[in-house]
Structure formats: C-alpha cells, structure tokens
Amino acid sequence: MNLKICIAQLNFVVGDVNGNAQRIVAAAQKAYAQGARLVLTPELSICGYAAEDLFLRPAFVQACEDAVEQVAQSLADLEGLCVVVGHPSGGDRRTASVRVQERFNCATVVREGRRIATYAKQELPNYQVFDERRYFAPGQASCVFEAGSGNATVQVGLLICEDAWFDAPAQAAREAGAQMLAVINASPFHIGKGYAREAVMAERARACGLPLAYAHLVGGQDELIFEGHSFAVAADGALAARAPSFSESLFMVDAQPEAGRLVLSGAVEPLRTGQRDLWDALVLGVRDYVEKNRFPAVLLGLSGGIDSALVLAVAVDALGAQRVRAVMMPSPYTADISWIDAREMARRMGVRYDEISIEPEFAAFKASLSPLFEGRAEDTTEENIQARIRGTMLMALSNKLGAMVLTTGNKSEMATGYCTLYGDMAGGFAVIKDLLKTQVFALARWRNLHDPYGSGVEPIPDRIITRPPSAELRANQTDQDSLPPYEVLDAIITHYMENDGSPEAAVAAGFSSADVQRVTHLIRVNEYKRRQSPPGIRLTHRSFGKDWRYPITNRFRG
C-alpha cells in the first residue's frame, strides 16, 4: 500500500501570518480529500519568505508560533494526516552584557491536533541574497517522523533547503532511520536555478541512498521570485516527478515500497526554455508586487523604444490590459516613427494610451535657467531636464489616479548610469532592472513568437526591435554615441559585475582595454544612482540589489 504525499506549492504573503495559516489549512483539507496523508509546505510558510528584520520582533515570532498551533487545531479531525509547516521559533536570551540569538528556522510536523516533531535548520546560507545568520542560530539534531498509518507508514527525514546541499544532515537522517528525505525550501529564482537544484538533489539522493521529495515556494516577494518547480528524485538520483513552474499546485507524489526500497513517482512537467522562465518570472514578479501591495493599476511611459515596449507587454500579461495605462511624452527630438510605433503597440495590447507633449515644459525650463546658463553650450543637462519632466508627469498621474509607475530601465543602463535620477528612474518598480539590453532584444523576439497568457500574438511592432536604440534626448542620438555596442557592453558587465572578473582578465579574453576601462569606470562611479533606484525583479545570480553591496565612496580600481 502506498503513501500519497502532497507538495503544497503555494504562494504566501510575508507577514500575513493568519492568512498564510488559513491557506495551509485549506490546502491540507483539499489534499486529504484526494488521499494525501503527508503534506509538505515550503520553508517558513507561516510567515512567508523572506521576512527579514521582522524576525527580530518577538511579537512576530510569537504570532508565527500561535499560527502553527492554529493549523494543528484546524486539522485535528483529519485522522492520520501529517502536515509539515515552516516557521520561525525561539527568541533572544540576554546575558549581563550581550544578546544571545536563539531563534531558529524550523519545520514542525502537526498530526491530529498535536505537534509531533520539530526540526531546526542546520546549514544557514549567508551569500547572494541570503542573510540567515543575521536572524537564526543553527540547529543541531536530525528529525525523523512517521507518516501514514497501518501498512502504509514511512519514516521521513526532514531537512530545510540549504541542509540538503550538504552531505551531513542527510546522512544523519538516514542513520536515524529515515526511508526518504522531505526537503522544504524557499530558494530564490535565477535563470537555470531550477535544473541546478534537481542535479544537486539527485546527487544528494545517490549519496545517502534515499529518495527525496523537494517542496518549493512559488511567488514574488519584493525583488525575489520563487518559481515552484518542486520535484522528487529516486534513490539512484533519477527524476521521479516534477511540478509546474511559476504557478500554485497541490502536487501529488506516491511513495510505495518496491523490492525492499521506497519508490517515489508522480507526474513530470516537461523541460522549459530559459526564455519562457524569464518571461514567467517577470510576469509573476509584476503581478505579485502589484497585488500583494494592493495597487489598483500601473502606468508607464511608452517611448516607442524596446525597453518600454517589453515592460508594457509584461505588464499586460501580468495584470490584463484594463489595469495598464501607457503615456507617450514626446519632446522636440522624438522621431515620427516613435509616435507611430508607440500608438500601434498600445493598440495591439488594448491599453489606455495618452499623449502629452513635454515641449512647453521643456521650453519653460530652458527659459527660466537661461540667465544662469548663459555662455554654456547645451549638454546632458538639457537631456536630463527632458527625462525629469517625464518623471514628474508620470508621478503626477500616479498620485492622482493611484496607479503605480513601472520604470523601464534595463541592467545595462543600471550598470553604466545611462539613466536619469528623478527622471526615467522615477517610479515604484523596475521590471527589467536585471535584464541586459541584449536579453531585452532576445526576449522581445521570443514574446512576439509566443503568447503564453493569451494577451495577443506579436504585440511589439517589428521596427521597435530592429531600429537602433536611442534615448531621443538630442538630435540624431543613438545609445552607441555614449556606450560600446551592447554585445560588447553586456559581455563586459557579465564578466566584471556578475562574475567578479578583473579588468585584466577581460582584456586577456579579447576585449579592448579602452572598452574595459570605460565600462568598469562607469560601473564604479554610478553606485550612487543604483542606491536610489526602485526595487526590481531578480533574474540572475548577481543582480543590482541584495546581491550587490558596494560602497558609494570607493577608490579601489581592480
């Protein structure tokens, strides 16, 4: 007889402790009705991930403890059901001179109204976006509990996320009698991470000779995305089941004895392309940021260029056309084709579209400043004035209408400072902040060939993709007047910023010394701008957010 396991791949809201508890209860009740007798929820499911300095508030940790009890009591009448709930536990103990941290990242097993086991995470990650040693102390003991009943019982070894990336916690669970491992997780997305997890968990299963079920969070939380993609692997590391990505799922896995070993099996979602993952991550990130922060709608400046076009397509896929508004704000340097293409894209996407010329405001600014600027030629000052007028227009509409402004700057611009403070950087959420310009073009082409959310085929006019990119802030301007070709620029950014390579190594790899020095200099001197940019969706292993913590005042040149 088999044990049916439900991986409750759910989307939680940080701090909504009671709401998250209710979601767990509803999922467990539904899974029980479908025959599940073990339900796995993600890491820190009670409070949501990542709750950051909320963990330092005793009232918050106590609310989470109370919510675990609420889950246990609400499921007390479901005979034989075990539910694994992630939550913080403990607090701080003060001695005469210091505060000793005794909070733990825990997983508690509830069954028939009681807590039957609790496990504290042993390996606390402190790299990339992770900062768990700030909040938690490491656990010390393994945890094995019995799930199921009668002749369908299984000894389950419990691990939390990072624990499974090391050998010792899994081996300790095996030595304590585990027949399988259950790993609950909240591991932020970056491109390729889902399949990397599968490979590492396959290695862990082979090393300890136990099958493994991996329960993962789904949803967006500020800059972070969690893509779901829960799965199970056999004791020999072979993939046994894979849940959908970027959507909630009560994913069922069967555990059945076979020839003296426990075998896991379930449905297997097909492999996905990187472009589809990127698109779904952007859509989920926008949707959850808007919904969880209760914005009624969004608006953006639609310039007729590639970046704003891509952001508009993402926003419509995420929220629907009725909640997205586009505003074209032409200046004296806006080309006719920019007007034409912006209007056409808005028509294809079905969004509210307005045009507001900034020429009167631009002329007024120049007239007011002309006595002070006398004798000085026009330069980037006048370019930035145009961008700041547009930023003011968008924020005025945001204040009046209640819609949040989506900014449209990409990672190449964030890296090099090719953006204007209080201008095109003004807004609430930077959708493509972690997408290099070359990736923007590639993803736009992909979206024109695919319609994953039914919002319309080929939403981006082809000329937007094929024309040379320009900020259109002076006559006959192109981006390459100020920057190396994007293929070169993005490769240097990847080498230096994403992979911590040295300038010397970049030159040795074939890039010109002039380009390398120019790009690395721009990255260094524009940290002050990045500190003032809105939060944006993390798509790579090194984003300009929690992954990047460089000082503004800095004279190191390596």
pLDDT at residue 469, rounded to an integer: 75
The CA-atom distances, in angstroms, between 130 and each of 161, 186, 504 are 12, 11, 30
* Residues 286, 319 contacting (CB under 8 angstroms): yes
Cβ burial of 153 (10 Å; 0-12, 13-18, 19+) is middle
**What are the residues facing 249 on neighbouring strands?**
9
Q: What is the DSSP string of 267-299?
A: -BPPP--HHHHHHHHHHHHHHHHHHHTT-S-EE
Domain limits, the chain: 3-272, 276-478+526-530
Closest C-alpha to 84, from 161, 187, 167 = 161
Report the Cα–Cα distance between both ends of the chain, in Å, rounded.
62
pLDDT digits (tens, 9 = 90+) for 271-295: 999 999 999 999 999 999 999 999 9
Helix 437-449 crosses helix 486-493 at what angle (to 10 degrees)?
110
Helix, strand or coil, per DSSP, at residue 60: helix
Give me 372's structure tokens: 């002070």
Residues labelled catalytic: 43, 121, 161
Q: What is the maximal distance between C-alpha atoms in the chain?
A: 91
Give residue 101's pLDDT. 67
- 113 vs 519: CA distance, rounded Å: 60
**CATH fold for domain 3-272:** Nitrilase/N-carbamoyl-D-aminoacid amidohydrolase (3.60.110)
> CB neighbours of 129 closer than 8 A, spacing ≥ 6?
50, 188, 223, 224, 538, 545, 546, 547
- Residues of the chain with confidence (pLDDT) below 50: none
| Contact (CB, 8 A) for 345 and 459 | yes
Q: Annotate 414-460 with three-state secondary structure.
A: HHHCCCCCCCCCCCCEECCCCCCHHHHHHHHHHHHHCCCCCCCCCCC
Say if pTM beats, i.e. exceeds, 0.75. yes
Question: CA angle, 35 as apex, 33 and 39 as ends, to 5°?
Answer: 90
CATH code assigned to 276-478+526-530: 3.40.50.620
Question: Is 26:69 a contact under the CB 8 Å cutoff?
Answer: no
CB neighbours of 399 closer than 8 A, spacing ≥ 6? none
- Closest Cα to residue 366, out of 338, 385, 388, 343? 385
CB atoms near residue 505 (< 10 Å): 14
